[in-house]
Structure 1
Amino acid sequence: MDYPVRKILPPGSLCKLSAARWGVCWVNFEALIIAMSAVGGSLLLSLAVCCCYCCCCKRKKSRKPDKSEEKAMREREERRIRQEERRAEMKSRHDEIRKKYGLFKEENPYARFENN
């Protein structure tokens, strides 16, 4: 029997939905409807999850840093300042020792002149 072209689903008077075929004889119309709805549902669900995930990420990035992040940044800055102070102190101590033993490198009087 030819498929009624004007209707998407065949009317119940012609045949049951489980006996209806679509396009070719081996494609069951009922199975096709179930498969298409499962694929469509999974696509919609994945789209919704992606949108929610993206919205949460944007909200998290645009949010101000919380107290723990600010505290960690302050501690990092304090450690960097202390390290620079220790470096300067060690450099001055090493320079004093070099001066004491005459190892301090002063400008070389025989340095090459630069042509400008």
Structure 2
Amino acid sequence: MWTSDGVFLFLLSALVAAQEQISTTSLPAVSCASKSNSSCAECLQNASCLWCAPSKQCLDYPVKNILPPKSVCPLSDARWGVCWVNFQTVMITLSVLSGLLVLGLLVCCLCCCCRRRRRQRVSDDDEDLRAEQQTRARTARQKERRMEMQLRHDKIRQKYGLSKDNPYSRMDEKK
């Protein structure tokens, strides 16, 4: 199985081959067909060439298609850019890597959404806790005010002899 290093090297070598092609544009263009029945390395010196291993043909890459059609060369036998990897392996590797990339992005998005929801729940819980604490504080202040008012009323009752301590005191005074 190909590792990510192997794929990276393939892509890098394809890029280098394409760069060499661009830098050697001043040289007269040699057709790919003239390099047939030679070696893969010699054929792939030109980035626009495709090597078909069983027939040992050097073909112009069919640029109208993304992948070379089976009539030109089967994917398992086609080489482009480098000789040591075929199109079938490249396609499988790129498919798996792109699938992993999409899966990784989805996992990242889901994790971010979950964290945001969790933070929102925590902040909602904090708001509920603050509201509950404010309610408790309000209730405690109300109780204090009631107690103060009750003490004031009791003092006034005592001053005028209307205290609730002895409910029968008024009746004794009238006798």
Which residue in the other structure is 1:54 paired with? 112
Tell me how many residue pairs correspond in the alignment. 70
Which residue in the other structure is 1:27 paired with? 85
The root-mean-square deviation of aligned C-alpha atoms, in Å, is 2.2
Which residue in the other structure is 1:65 paired with? 125
Alignment of 1:69-108 (within 5 A): 70=129
Query: Is there any run of 5+ residues in structure 1 with no aligned partner, and where?
Result: 75-116
1:9 to 67, 70, 82: 67
What do residues 43-100 of structure 1 show as CA deviations (whole Å, max 9, x unaligned)? Answer: 111100010010011111112118xx94xx97xxxxxxxxxxxxxxxxxxxxxxxxxx
AA aligned to 1:17 is L
Which residue in the other structure is 1:97 paired with? none
**CA drift at 1:6:** 2.6
Say which one has the larger Rg: 2
Structure with higher RCO (Cα < 8 A, 6+ apart): 2
In terms of fraction of residues, the more strand-rich structure is 2
Length-normalised TM-score, structure 2 = 0.36
Which residue in the other structure is 2:102 paired with? 44
Query: Is there any run of 5+ residues in structure 2 with no aligned partner, and where?
Result: 1-57, 134-175
Length-normalised TM-score, structure 1 = 0.53
